[in-house]
């Protein structure tokens, strides 16, 4: 049992906003916070291991409000690297499309494309996700090699969306940052073979001088929607492959980063990463 540190205090309502860093599992953070306060704990929604941002941990009786509170709008900032695609729609995936060059996108035109997604929105869920299909999580089917010809759909609402920037980036630098973040992941999320694939990608001729374009997008969206899938729809509308290289949940209902406890504040500055080891899952 983890002993609470002196400054490990949550709100009186037992609703505890926490900043999840890159590499961690929402489920394991929830479990360890429950252990910390010697209460049963739950959460209102997960973040992917390569994402960071606001998660809401519910303690005690508040956990019975999980589905009610999960309905809050979510705000995200994310980056899409154009010219490539992966099987997971983010950097934690195997490369499936490879353009490896500046795609010649124009900022104003892309901005109009992005703005066109405001309103009711239907997306295909990612293959590497926890959505159920034929009685099993999709990621279980993916690991077994089963092909899903028609992925399930989700319906939601995009309340606001805007293109914040369109930048040129050195491909080698982007891949090195991807590998750095993959090495932060705690647990088994098939990151080892993915890291190896990205390392092999770095050996390709000319990669040092290759430039790609990266879009930074901000979106306010309804519950349960996948930003990874949204990135695919944006890339498709722009006529190029793409995948998410960075994802931050900046808002969860009324809560933002300034409202959040960090893991260091909760568990002390010397907390062990092994507390948060998780088995393979994608949510």
Is residue 244 helix, strand or coil?
strand
Alpha-carbon distance 157 to 65, whole Å?
22
Instruction: Respond yes or no: is residue 48 known to be catalytic.
Output: yes
Place of tokens 């319906």: 155
What DSSP character marks residue 225?
-
What DSSP character marks residue 222?
-
22 φψ region: left (φ > 0), alpha (ψ -120 to 50), beta (else):
beta
Give the burial class of 10: count Cβ atoms within 10 A of its Cβ; 0-12 exposed, 13-18 middle, 19 or more buried.
Answer: buried
Compute, in degrees rounded to 10, the torsion defined by CA atoms 84, 199, 210, 103: 0
Number of separate helices (H) and strands (E) present in the chain: 8, 13
Q: How far, in whole angstroms, is CA 141 from its chain's centroid?
A: 20
Length of the chain in residues, anyone?
A: 283
Helical spans, DSSP H, in the chain? 26-37, 66-69, 107-115, 138-144, 171-182, 191-202, 227-238, 263-267
Active-site residue (options: 12, 14, 48, 188): 48
How many CB atoms within 10 Å of residue 45? 19
Q: Where are the beta strands (DSSP E) in the chain?
A: 15-20, 41-43, 52-59, 74-82, 84-86, 95-98, 119-124, 132-133, 136-137, 153-170, 211-221, 242-252, 255-256
Alpha-carbon distance 281 to 283, whole Å?
7
Catalytic residues: 48
């Amino acid at each position: 049992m983890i002993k609470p540190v002196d400054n490990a205090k949550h709100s009186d309502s037992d609703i505890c906003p926490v900043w999840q860093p890159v590499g961690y599992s929402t489920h394991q953070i929830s479990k360890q916070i429950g252990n910390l306060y010697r209460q049963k704990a739950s959460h209102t929604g997960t973040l992917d291991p390569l994402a960071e941002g606001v998660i809401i941990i519910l303690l005690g009786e508040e956990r019975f409000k999980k589905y009610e509170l999960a309905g809050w709008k979510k705000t995200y900032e994310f980056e899409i690297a154009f010219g490539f695609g992966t099987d997971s729609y983010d950097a934690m995936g195997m490369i499936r499309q490879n353009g490896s060059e500046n795609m010649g996108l124009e900022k104003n035109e892309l901005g109009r494309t992005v703005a066109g997604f405001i309103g009711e929105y239907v997306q295909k869920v990612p293959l590497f996700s926890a959505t159920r299909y034929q009685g099993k999580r999709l990621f279980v089917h993916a690991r077994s090699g089963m092909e899903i010809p028609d992925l399930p759909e989700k319906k939601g609402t995009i309340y606001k969306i805007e293109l914040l920037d369109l930048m040129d980036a050195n491909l080698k630098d982007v891949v090195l940052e991807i590998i750095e973040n993959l090495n932060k992941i705690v647990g088994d999320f098939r990151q080892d073979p993915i890291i190896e694939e990205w390392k092999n990608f770095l050996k390709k001729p000319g990669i040092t001088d290759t430039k790609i374009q990266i879009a930074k997008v901000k979106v306010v969206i309804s519950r349960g929607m996948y930003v990874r899938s949204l990135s695919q729809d944006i890339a498709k509308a722009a006529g190029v492959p793409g995948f998410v290289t960075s994802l931050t949940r900046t808002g969860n209902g009324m809560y933002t980063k300034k409202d959040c406890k960090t893991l260091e504040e909760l568990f002390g500055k010397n907390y062990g990463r092994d507390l948060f080891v998780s088995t393979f899952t994608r949510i």
